[in-house]
Amino acid sequence: MQKLHVTNGKSGFGWFGKKIFETLPVGIVAFDRNLKITDANPHAAKLIDLTDKIDKSLQRGTDGSASASQDWSQQLESVILTGKARTFESVRYTSNGKTKLLRIACAALKKTGTGKNCGGTIIIEDITEQVNTRCQLANAERLATVGKLASRVAHELNNPMDGILRYINLALRTIEKQDLEKPKEYLTHCREGLVRMVQIVSELLEFSRNTYSPFEHVRIEQIVEDSIKTMDTKGEASKVKILRNYASDIPEIRSGNLFQVFCNLTKNALDAMPNGGELNISTRMSAKDTAAVEFRDTGVGFDAEEREVIFEPFFTTKDRGKGTGLGLAICKDIVERYGGKITADMAPKGGSIFTVYLPVRSENT
């Protein structure tokens, strides 16, 4: 490829200008009227697969994507002809099996002296991380909005349900005094349904709480400890011994809604051991960029066939009226939105093991 210096001797930049051109953190490509590449800096070669012509270089990475509908030859020739700059946002470009999002700005290049357009330049910027961050922030805002709405709805439902439940209890007492069986049976069913609704609303309220900022990075054992503290009273009442085994080599982790996840797993373990037992909570690195948080209890466990459906909404292993079946489903949703996964296994000596696998903070995060 013939080298064409963007700056010439008359510009006053010379060698210094060439060094700036070569070290800029964006890709720059110059091309003539025939779209033949005349110069390109090293960063451009990292962002796109450079060939002899700029239109072919762009087209080869955008074939099959939305941006392929842009005829690069036509677009670039139009820039040279009209002198009007064009910018293409979030162009999906695939190279070596990896897809990135590029911002591509095209402008005409004028010939010194005549002022006529003799070709053009493009500036290429990798905006993949920027777009991903914007998407994460948008998702966080949407989730926060939904959480506030759910919390508001739950609060609004609480008062009328509390009143209905109170009047049903009063009616039951009156009917019991008159020994009327059928009305008592009907009202009992109504009360059971209302109690279940109250539990569901309470659980929605519980999961609308935020202890950490969604993008705050903290040590994972700190989140676990905060969740254990909320269950101190319940643990003492159940006479459950909570053991900790935290690894020291786990990097800080983006907290998100992990507090709610760990709270629910701790609560479930305590519920499974009403007559006492042990809950062993441990952390470890299960892979290079993945941390595992394990909750192992000595409770009643679950049946083998329940393993496949245990995370489905409204499925519960608890006795009727004691569980909503929402906790684990919400945990699974939170963990998966985080980019991780949650598993359920039966402990060899009885009890259950719930393990949360989470991506940890890397140097580039």
* Residues in CB range of 359: below 8 A, 6 or more apart: 289, 290, 291, 338, 339, 340
Asked if residue 143 has pLDDT above 50, the reply is yes
Query: Which string of b and e fits 102-125 if b means at least 16 CB within 10 Å?
Result: bbbebbbbeeeeeeebebbbbbbb
CA distance 180 to 159: 29
Residue indicated by tokens 């720059």: 28
Neighbours of 211 (CB within 10 A): 16
In percent, how much of the chain has pLDDT > 90? 13
The phi and psi torsions of 63 (rounded to 5 degrees) equal -60, 130
Neighbours of 233 (CB within 10 A): 9
Mean pLDDT of 74-100: 87
User: Pairing state of beta strands 240-245 and 217-218?
Assistant: unpaired
* Interval 330-360: pLDDT, tens: 788 888 878 889 999 888 888 899 999 998 8
Provide the token pair at 59: 């087209």
Task: Give residue 280's pLDDT.
Answer: 94
Query: Which string of b and e fits 305-335 if b means at least 16 CB within 10 Å?
Result: eeeeebbeeeebbeeeeebbbbbbbbbbbbb
Question: pLDDT higher for 256 or 86?
Answer: 86
Provide the token pair at 216: 């705050």
Contact 88, 67 (CB under 8 A): yes
**How big is the chain, counted in residues?**
365
Mean pLDDT of 313-331: 64
Neighbours of 337 (CB within 10 A): 13
CA 35 to chain centre: 42
Could you tell me which residues are beta bridge partners of residue 284?
A: 292
In percent, how much of the chain has pLDDT > 70? 75
CA distance 109 to 81: 11
Task: Give residue 13's pLDDT.
Answer: 43
CA distance 223 to 281: 12
Q: Quick one: which of 27, 7, 9 has its CA closest to 18?
A: 7
* Interval 251-310: pLDDT, tens: 888 776 788 889 889 988 988 888 889 999 999 998 778 899 999 999 888 877 777 778
DSSP 199-242: HHHHHHHHHT--SS-TT-EE-HHHHHHHHHHTTHHHHHHHTEEE
Task: Give residue 9's pLDDT.
Answer: 37
Lowest mean pLDDT among 105-109, 200-204, 305-309, 343-347: 200-204
Task: Give residue 128's pLDDT.
Answer: 85
Task: Give residue 173's pLDDT.
Answer: 82
Residue indicated by tokens 């400890």: 225
Mean pLDDT of 178-207: 71
Task: Give residue 146's pLDDT.
Answer: 61
Between the alpha carbon of residue 32 and those of residues 1, 10, 125, 277, the distances in Å are 13, 21, 21, 77
Task: Give residue 283's pLDDT.
Answer: 93
Helices (H), the chain: 14-23, 42-47, 54-62, 72-82, 128-178, 181-207, 220-229, 232-238, 258-271, 327-338
Q: Is the pTM value of this prediction over 0.75?
A: no
* Interval 61-73: pLDDT, tens: 886 444 444 588 8
CA distance 188 to 216: 47
Provide the token pair at 266: 């701790």
Question: pLDDT higher for 111 or 226?
Answer: 226
Confidence of residue 183 (pLDDT cuts 50, 70, 90): confident
Question: pLDDT higher for 167 or 58?
Answer: 58
